[in-house]
Amino acid sequence: MRRYMSGRRARLWRGLCLAATLTFAVHPGVGSAAAEASYPVKSITMIVPFAAGGPTDVVARIVADSMSVTLGQPIIIENVVGSGGTTAVIRAKRSPPDGYTVVMGHMGTHGAAVALNPHLAYDPMRDFEPIGLVTNMPVLILARKRLDANTLGEFIELMRSRGESLNMAHAGVGSVSYATCLLLNSIVGTRPRMTAFQGTAPAMTALVEGRVDYMCDQAASVVPQIAAGTVKAYAVGTASRNLVLPDVPTSIEAGTAAFQASAWNALFVPKGTPKPVIASLNSALGKALDDDTVRSQLLRLGSEIPAPPERTPQSLAELVKSEIAKWTAAIRPANSEN
């Protein structure tokens, strides 16, 4: 009888141990207060949905350097390219919700992509926890240096007269460059040829080399090119001129007020990530955005740095919701024309 009881107990004990091990293996760190309290205990991967050297990548590397000092662990940047940034976001969505995979999303991946892809395999609001807004960055209308138009007005004339022969560069359906130039094309009423790249870094190389005619890109890639005189900048899509590009007119000044385009970058983690982990990441991000070196690096790229009230997860959740609504209204009609 004694032997029978102890055998049963032993089996029960083995069963409980196995269940506990499986729970831990499926969601390491999740549900474990000790793991959350000591977060992070190993390196963090920050997924960048576009090619190295582009605006998203540059912004990610600047804040990751500072955040890794605060968090006491390396942050490894992983460029996961393809499908206008959506491949990377799907990968992030499927990662364990433990704070060790973070994605640098933006106005395209977590806003316009919803309108651009009717079968998008993620929902920016349902599948992600917002960490915080990183930057706001104006979008500019750019052309190759030798294109036969020197002002936005002349360029729009050119688009109207022979838009079908122009070649527009973009970073894939879901990207900022695609969504914002789609808006421009629909304002003008033209359908150019389009060439997709894995980010605006390779698209910019093609523009500088004259292999494509125009694109819409975030200020970060543009500032050094404008300074070097390798591309033309017709207008910036914000209400006022950018501090580091004082000679570039706004779209309002240049006569096309309907082109309003500003992009933001923000950090997200998969849904289900524990609150204390989100709080640690948010506070490391806030510390980065208050750091003088980080601020001057971001400002030099034409970024605007969000003020503390705009940096909360709640404020980012509201931004994502309003941006999905805004770009859905702007893009669905433009997309159906193309």
Peptide bond into 40 cis (omega under 30): yes
Half-sphere CA count of 104, side-chain side, radius 13 A: 33
The C-alpha atoms of residue 171 and residue 173 are separated, in whole angstroms, by 7
Q: 135 or 190: whose CB is closer to ligand ASP?
A: 135
Find the shortest distance in angstroms from Cβ 174 to ligand ASP: 8
Q: 71 or 236: whose CB is closer to ligand ASP?
A: 236
Q: Which residue has the tokens 């190759």?
A: 144
Of the residues 218, 250, 256, 262, which one makes contact with ligand ASP according to CB under 6 A: 218
Of the residues 29, 30, 36, 50, which one makes contact with ligand ASP according to CB under 6 A: 50
Q: Angle at which helices 200-208 and 219-228 pack, to 10 degrees?
A: 20
186 binds ligand ASP (CB under 6 A): no
Q: Rounded to whole angstroms, what are the CA distances from 76 to 146, 259, 318, 323?
A: 39, 36, 28, 29
Q: 171 or 231: whose CB is closer to ligand ASP?
A: 171
Of the residues 55, 105, 302, 313, which one makes contact with ligand ASP according to CB under 6 A: 55
Return the range that interacts with ligand ASP (CB under 6 A); candidates 9-17, 54-62, 155-163, 301-309. 54-62
Find the shortest distance in angstroms from Cβ 215 to ligand ASP: 8
Give residues 156-175 in contact with ligand ASP (rule: CB under 6 A): 171, 175
Contact between 144 and 150 under an 8 Å Cβ cutoff? The reply is no
- Chain position whose Cβ is nearest to ligand ASP: 54
E strands, 157-261, are 167-170, 193-196, 214-218, 231-236
Find the shortest distance in angstroms from Cβ 275 to ligand ASP: 30
Contact between 260 and 179 under an 8 Å Cβ cutoff? The reply is no
The C-alpha atoms of residue 149 and residue 155 are separated, in whole angstroms, by 5
DSSP string, 121-170: S--TTTSEEEEEEEEEEEEEEEEETTSS--SHHHHHHHHHHHGGG-EEEE
Instruction: Work out the number of other CB atoms within 10 angstroms of the CB of residue 9.
Output: 10
Find the shortest distance in angstroms from Cβ 142 to ligand ASP: 12
Residue 65 has φ and ψ, to the nearest 5°, of -60, -45
User: Which of helix, strand or coil describes residue 102?
Assistant: strand
Which H or E run includes 225?
Answer: helix 219-228
Of the residues 35, 36, 47, 54, which one makes contact with ligand ASP according to CB under 6 A: 54
Site string for ligand ASP, 286-325 (x = CB under 6 A): ----------------------------------------
Give residues 92-131 in contact with ligand ASP (rule: CB under 6 A): 108
Of the residues 147, 176, 183, 206, which one makes contact with ligand ASP according to CB under 6 A: 176
86 binds ligand ASP (CB under 6 A): no
Q: 40 or 110: whose CB is closer to ligand ASP?
A: 110
Site string for ligand ASP, 247-276 (x = CB under 6 A): ------------------------------
End-to-end CA distance of the chain: 79
The number of residues that bind ligand ASP (CB under 6 A) is: 15
199 binds ligand ASP (CB under 6 A): yes
The site for ligand ASP (CB under 6 A) is made up of 50-51, 54-57, 108, 171, 175-177, 199-201, 218
